[in-house]
């Protein structure tokens, strides 16, 4: 067991920051192209309507704090219990790759069916990681 399981974590953190950077950039471009009127930002609801045309990066960022929380919770457990071996590292990279593809689709062309399939695949990989960890613990490996 090595700390190799941490590299996919760094990659996922990098993805989260990359998506986060898109939000202010998109907002600045939107404001420049569509200068807001006073009423556009008068309330939270008004601001959400004003920024709705560019909300995909913000939606994707929120999504990156849903299921990936289970990934971020699992990695320290793998390290502490010394179960972060080759299979877990490989699955972690697959998970991060799928989440990256999901983010590209979500913030880009947003082909919902394809995005959903990639999302389901990433959830299946994450489930496999958790099940593998639980089985290893139960069997005393």
DSSP string, 103-125: HHHHHTT--HHHHHHHHHHHHHH
- What percentage of the chain carries pLDDT values higher than 90? 96
pLDDT at res. 2:
76
Q: Is the predicted pLDDT of residue 1 greater than 70, yes or no? A: no
Question: CA 67 to CA 24: how far, in whole Å?
Answer: 24
Question: CA 94 to CA 100: how far, in whole Å?
Answer: 10
Which residues, 6+ apart, have CB-to-CB distance to 3 below 8 Å?
Answer: 79, 84
pLDDT at res. 141:
80
Average pLDDT along the chain = 96
Q: DSSP H helical segments within the chain, as ranges?
A: 6-33, 44-51, 56-63, 68-81, 86-107, 112-138
- Judged on CB neighbours under 10 Å (0-12, 13-18, 19+), 118 is buried
Going from the N-terminus, what domains does the chain have, and what CATH number goes with each? 3-138 (1.20.120)
């Amino acid at each position: 067991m090595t700390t190799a399981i941490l590299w996919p974590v760094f990659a996922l953190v990098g993805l989260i920051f990359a998506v986060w950077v898109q939000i202010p950039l998109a907002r600045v471009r939107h404001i420049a192209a569509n200068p807001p009127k006073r009423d556009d930002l008068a309330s939270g609801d008004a601001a959400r309507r004003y920024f709705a045309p560019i909300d995909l990066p913000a939606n994707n960022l929120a999504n990156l704090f849903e299921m990936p929380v289970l990934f971020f919770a699992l990695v320290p457990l793998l390290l502490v219990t010394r179960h972060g071996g080759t299979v877990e590292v490989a699955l972690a990279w697959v998970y991060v790759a799928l989440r990256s593809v999901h983010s590209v689709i979500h913030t880009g062309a947003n082909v919902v069916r394809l995005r959903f399939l990639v999302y389901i695949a990433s959830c299946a990989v994450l489930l496999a990681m958790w099940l593998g960890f639980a089985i290893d613990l139960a069997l005393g490996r």
